[in-house]
């Protein structure tokens, strides 16, 4: 049996589900695209090829192998995008929560059934139907659970709004010993540079006391200020609108000192090294064209 344990974003990783880029089904039709960045690249003729994305995911896979992380992969569904395993579920403490995701993507959960079978069934929860939540919006951080959400009245019409206030209430009830802190994110169906698809698109902790953050991703500046106060201004790497668009906050921690990052994130990677991190640089720019990057491609199961 898998003894799940996720207390935070950065403790030493021991087991993870890494998505797959096999048999993606080609370039999606515009009506089937779920985010403005994918739409932008479909229209421009620059949507990534399956071959390029497979190479990028294999580079990520090799980093996990280097650090002796147990890697699970989804069963391949023909002609189906299964890169972003973070969307389909998440672990808090020793509990796996299935995400209520876009209906078209429910098959992705079936593709990791071989993983779920290794978890105590009492520790696998399915939220009620009214709870909309994706793993990219949920970040355990010690006594906190940070949750990205959308409080707009037109929530049902925003394809980029993935986690609702019912999810915030559900997490509060499910984890009464935690402080659930939600953040109202900036959303756009049409402009990727003004769309924080998930919380990890505008914020992510690194190490034990640092974080990457984009002020423009938060609708409520008091909520942004809460994070500034919690981590300390001197411990934050502030990214620009363009760096947010390129997914600079969506890197991935293997341990408090080891971070996997995109090789083109020069400013960020230099900052990380200056602060004592080992940065494992890999190519991931093609996958980023689908408005997801390294954190989005992973579903951590066990950390220290």
What is the band of 192 on the pLDDT scale with cuts at 50, 70, 90?
A: confident
- Residue span of the structural domain in which 214 resides: 13-303
pLDDT of 154: 65
What are the φ/ψ torsions at residue 293 (nearest 5 degrees)? -140, -135
Q: How many whole angstroms separate alpha carbon 97 and alpha carbon 241?
A: 32
The SS3 call for residue 183 is strand
Is 275 a member of any domain? yes
Is 283 a member of any domain? yes
Q: pLDDT (tens digit, 9 = 90+) per residue, 213-259?
A: 999 999 999 999 999 999 999 999 999 999 999 999 999 999 999 99
DSSP 8-state symbol, 70: E
Question: Could you tell me the two tokens for 59?
Answer: 């580079």
Q: pLDDT (tens digit, 9 = 90+) per residue, 288-300?
A: 988 889 999 999 9
pLDDT of 191: 79
Is 2 a member of any domain? no
Put simply, whether the predicted model's pTM sits higher than 0.75 gets the answer yes
Is 34 a member of any domain? yes
Question: Could you tell me the two tokens for 169?
Answer: 């209430």
pLDDT of 126: 93
Q: Does an H or E element contain 116, and which?
A: helix 113-116
Q: How many whole angstroms separate alpha carbon 147 and alpha carbon 227?
A: 12
pLDDT at residue 37 tops 90: no
Is 1 a member of any domain? no
Is 6 a member of any domain? no
Q: Closest by alpha carbon to 208, among 107, 304, 109?
A: 304
Q: Closest by alpha carbon to 106, among 88, 133, 127, 124?
A: 88
241 contacts 193 by C-beta, under 8 angstroms:
yes
Q: pLDDT (tens digit, 9 = 90+) per residue, 87-145?
A: 899 999 999 999 976 666 678 898 999 999 999 999 999 999 899 999 999 999 999 99
Q: How is the beta sheet containing 95-98 ordered, strand by strand?
A: 89-92, 95-98, 124-125
Is 7 a member of any domain? no
The SS3 call for residue 146 is strand
User: In sequence order, what are the beta bridge partners of 6?
Assistant: 93
**Domain holding 48: CATH number?**
3.75.10.10
Q: pLDDT (tens digit, 9 = 90+) per residue, 3-30?
A: 999 999 999 999 999 999 999 888 888 8
Q: How many distinct structural domains can be found in the chain?
A: 1
293 contacts 262 by C-beta, under 8 angstroms:
yes
Residue 113 CB neighbour total at 10 angstroms: 10
Is 294 a member of any domain? yes
Q: How many whole angstroms separate alpha carbon 202 and alpha carbon 150?
A: 14
């Amino acid at each position: 049996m898998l003894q799940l344990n996720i207390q935070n974003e950065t403790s030493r990783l021991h087991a993870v589900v890494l998505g797959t880029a096999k048999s993606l089904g080609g370039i999606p039709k515009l009506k089937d695209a779920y985010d403005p960045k994918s739409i932008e690249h479909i229209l421009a003729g620059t949507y990534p090829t399956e071959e390029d994305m497979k190479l990028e995911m294999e580079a990520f896979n090799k980093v996990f192998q280097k650090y002796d992380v147990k890697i699970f992969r989804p069963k391949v569904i023909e002609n189906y995008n299964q890169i972003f395993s973070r969307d389909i579920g998440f672990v808090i403490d020793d509990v796996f929560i299935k995400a209520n995701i876009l209906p078209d993507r429910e098959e992705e959960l079936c593709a990791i059934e071989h993983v779920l079978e290794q978890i105590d069934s009492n520790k696998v929860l399915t939220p009620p139907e009214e709870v909309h939540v994706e793993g990219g919006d949920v970040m355990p951080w010690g006594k906190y659970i940070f949750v990205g959400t959308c409080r707009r009245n037109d929530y049902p019409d925003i394809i980029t709004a993935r986690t609702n206030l019912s999810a915030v209430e559900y997490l509060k009830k499910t984890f009464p010993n935690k402080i659930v802190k939600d953040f109202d994110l900036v959303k756009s169906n049409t402009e990727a540079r003004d769309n924080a698809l998930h919380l990890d698109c505008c914020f992510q902790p690194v190490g034990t006391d640092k974080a990457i953050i984009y002020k423009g991703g938060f609708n409520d500046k008091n909520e942004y200020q809460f994070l500034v106060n919690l981590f300390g201004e001197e411990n934050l790497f502030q990214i620009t609108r363009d760096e947010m668009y390129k997914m600079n906050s969506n890197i991935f921690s293997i341990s408090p000192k080891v971070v996997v990052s995109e090789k083109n994130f020069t400013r960020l990677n230099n900052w990380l090294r200056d602060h004592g991190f080992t940065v494992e640089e890999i190519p991931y720019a093609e996958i980023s064209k689908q408005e997801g990057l390294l954190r989005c491609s992973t579903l951590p199961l066990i950390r220290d």
